[in-house]
Amino acid sequence: MSNHLTLDLWNSVLPLVLLCAVVVVLPGWFTGKNNLSHRTLAFAALKTAVVAYAVGALMMAALYASINEGVYEQVLRNPIERVGFFLGRSALFALLWGPLLGFVWLVKAQEMNRRLGMKMVDGE
């Protein structure tokens, strides 16, 4: 296994890649294939941000639990403080997935505008 105090594939790269995959996949899944509403797309981006924030907090809890004994017991003893701690650490993950979500949102909006334009040209 890996040393928990060094950066390697299992404790840094893989969690970040999985979190970025969540951010890339969820907006399309939330909006559906034939969406033509910017409101639906914005709501999907908001839902994706909330899910990514929660997934990041769970990843941080799992990473801290792999390093330290008794992390889950501390969460059960003092849930508000510990959950707040992991949500704060998850905000650091947002420095990575936030711009990625913005880029995905922009690409989805451009694709939607292209489909709207094609629909107008076809006279529908």
Residue 12 has pLDDT above 70, yes or no: yes
Quick one: pLDDT at residue 114? 94
**Cα(112)–Cα(117) distance, integer angstroms:** 9
Residue 123 has pLDDT above 90, yes or no: no
Q: Using CB atoms within 10 A of its CB, is residue 124 exposed (0-12), middle (13-18) or buried (19+)?
A: exposed
- Give tens-digit pLDDT for 86-98: 999 999 989 999 9
Quick one: pLDDT at residue 90? 92
| Residue 14, domain member (yes or no) | no
Per the listing, tokens 């399309």 go with 28
| Residue 110, domain member (yes or no) | no
| Residue 61, domain member (yes or no) | yes
Residues spanned by the domain of 65? 54-100
| Residue 114, domain member (yes or no) | no
| Residue 86, domain member (yes or no) | yes
Domains in the chain, number: 1
Percent of the chain clearing pLDDT 90 (strictly above): 58
